Amino acid sequence: TDRYCVFGHPVGHSKSPAIHAAFAGQTGDDIEYVAIEAPLDDFAGAWRRFVSEGGRGANVTVPFKEEAFRLCDTLSLRGRRAGAVNTLILGGNGLSNDFKVYGDTTDGVGLVRDLRRHGVELAGARILVLGAGGAVRGVLEPLLVEGPVSVRVANRTAAKAEVLAADFRDLGEIAGGGFDAVEGPYDLVINGTSASLAGDLPPLPDDLFAPEATAHDMMYGAEPTVFLRWAAERGAHTVDGLGMLVEQAAESFFQWRGRRPDTAPVLEMLRQAL
């Protein structure tokens, strides 16, 4: 049995153990996957302990993704770009066995796969991303490499969006600013703020969406978020963050095990349980 886990704080609510158990059930991989609440001041110690007990890899969630990034010996390009990782692999990606720590971030590719599953065309799209925190930083590279016409990053604190856009400018047409600089219409609007948690809606113009536009919220719940309700009222297709969650997990599973699970039945299972 190979051991994996998700580190977080808190982590009790994590759906990752159920997702990976379902993946392993499909592929026949003999793995154990648990949730571990690492102490806020000693993530590195928790990881070392897990490794000494036979751990092979881990997912990392809030608030440890930046710390996980710092303890990696080797990083994927997208992980280096993101400055944060959600996937740790011991011994590289199977090519080396020297117990080095390899880090990757699979959130962005998870988002892109889920959007593709919903038939969203990213090449040539006008994209608006709301928020400029870690969650947004993690998805910009995979979005930009799909070849959108433009990406605008809008944030409550405008300066943070400007810095973020500058960091990714070499990858495509990207600009950052405050919500007041938002000028539609957009084909795709991604909410990467944590405003939904507080039931808040960023101040957005009514003519934000192009015809057939899609609104995506990285959050999910039994009920649509405030942002998705607002978007639906304005005619946009809506996609919540549950699919992204399952797709990022599938990419991590692939990194560890070399096999791609079928995400559709797992997403369906989680949806039923919300």
Residue found by looking up tokens 């990022």 in the block? 248
Residue 159 among known ligand-binding residues: yes
CA-based radius of gyration for the chain: 18
Residue 248 among known ligand-binding residues: yes
Q: Does an H or E element contain 7, and which?
A: strand 2-8
31 vs 195 by CB, closer to ligand ATR = 195
Q: How distant, in Å, are the alpha carbons of 24, 154, 190, 232 from that of 237?
A: 32, 20, 12, 6
Is 110 one of the binding residues for ligand ATR (CB under 6 A)?
A: no
DSSP summary character for residue 46? H
Residue 220 among known ligand-binding residues: yes
Binding residues for ligand ATR restricted to 159-188, rule: CB under 6 A: 160
Would you put residue 250 in left (φ > 0), alpha (ψ -120 to 50) or beta? alpha
Three-class DSSP category at 253: helix
Residues in the chain: 274
Q: Which of 65, 126, 137, 257 is catalytic?
A: 65
Mark whether 100 is an active-site residue. no
Asked if 165 and 249 count as a contact pair (C-beta separation under 8 A), the reply is no
Tell the smallest beta-carbon distance from residue 47 to ligand ATR (Å). 20
Binding footprint of ligand ATR, residue count (CB under 6 A): 16
Asked if 190 and 151 count as a contact pair (C-beta separation under 8 A), the reply is no
Is 194 one of the binding residues for ligand ATR (CB under 6 A)?
A: yes
Is 193 one of the binding residues for ligand ATR (CB under 6 A)?
A: yes
Among residues 68, 128, 132, 245, which is the contact residue for ligand ATR, using CB under 6 A?
132
136 vs 267 by CB, closer to ligand ATR = 136
Of 112-120, 155-163, 250-258, 264-272, which segment contacts ligand ATR by CB under 6 A? 155-163
Residue found by looking up tokens 């963050």 in the block? 241
28 vs 199 by CB, closer to ligand ATR = 199
Tell the smallest beta-carbon distance from residue 200 to ligand ATR (Å). 4
Residue 178 among known ligand-binding residues: no
Residue 16 among known ligand-binding residues: yes
Pairing mode of beta strands 174-177, 150-154: parallel
> Quick count: other Cβ atoms within 10 Å of Cβ 237?
17
Is 189 one of the binding residues for ligand ATR (CB under 6 A)?
A: no
Q: Which residues are catalytic?
A: 65
Residue ranges of the annotated binding site for shikimate are 14-16, 61, 86, 107, 220, 248
In the complex, the residues that contact ligand ATR under the rule CB under 6 A are 131-136, 155-157, 160, 193-195, 198, 200, 202
